[in-house]
Structure 1
């Protein structure tokens, strides 16, 4: 995990914390780099609306990739770090939405 400069996060009505028109609770503060295009989107619905291709899931063999962006501290986490962080950013301790686990299959190989 590392802290980065602000990352461009694509999507519909995305704010500086990566909240979008689809997911905007105080805990919806991550963006995901999509395997298919190496671009960060606030959610899969944002990707579906803006990208001209189908999304791809990250294979387990690439879970070491920094593909999660915290909209609170602007740090990046590997997929492994994100999946094991228990919905709390290990850098700034912001709480992530635990409901995102219901959508992991859309982003990460199961």
Structure 2
């Protein structure tokens, strides 16, 4: 069964209307609704609730989907790599600038 991706995707590799370069091939499962969206803007536009970030205690959860192979990876695995651990697809390194939209920052107290 294919994983459902919410938001305005532009192709079957999870690129969206906001981020659609060759390396924009991940979708994030949002903690608040457990739905995959390509980006925080897609969630903001479509969801009927504010986004919640994943606390560090939950970073072992599979919450990142590779749009190329459709494999899930844990948050920890995603944050530690620049390519999919399942298929080696290159991931957008610039996404690191947006991790605070999805995951508790290292400077926030544990929750």
Report the TM-score range of the alignment, normalised by the length of the smaller protein: over 0.9
2:73 partner SS:
strand
How far apart in 1 are the matches of 2:9 and 2:32? 22
Runs of 4+ more than 2 Å apart: none
Pairing 1:8-27 to 2, within 5 Å after superposition:
8-27=4-23
Report the count of equivalent residues.
105
CA deviation after TM superposition for structure 1 residue 6, in Å = 2.4
How far apart in 1 are the matches of 2:27 and 2:9? 13
- Could you tell me the TM-score, scaled by structure 1's length? 0.92
Structure 2: runs of 5+ lacking an equivalent: 106-111
Equivalent residue for 1:100? 95
Which protein has the bigger strand share?
A: 1
- Could you tell me the TM-score, scaled by structure 2's length? 0.91
Structure 1: runs of 5+ lacking an equivalent: none
The higher-RCO structure (CA 8 Å, 6+ apart) is 1
How far apart in 2 are the matches of 1:71 and 1:59? 24
Q: CA RMSD in A?
A: 0.9
Pairing 1:47-66 to 2, within 5 Å after superposition:
47-66=43-62
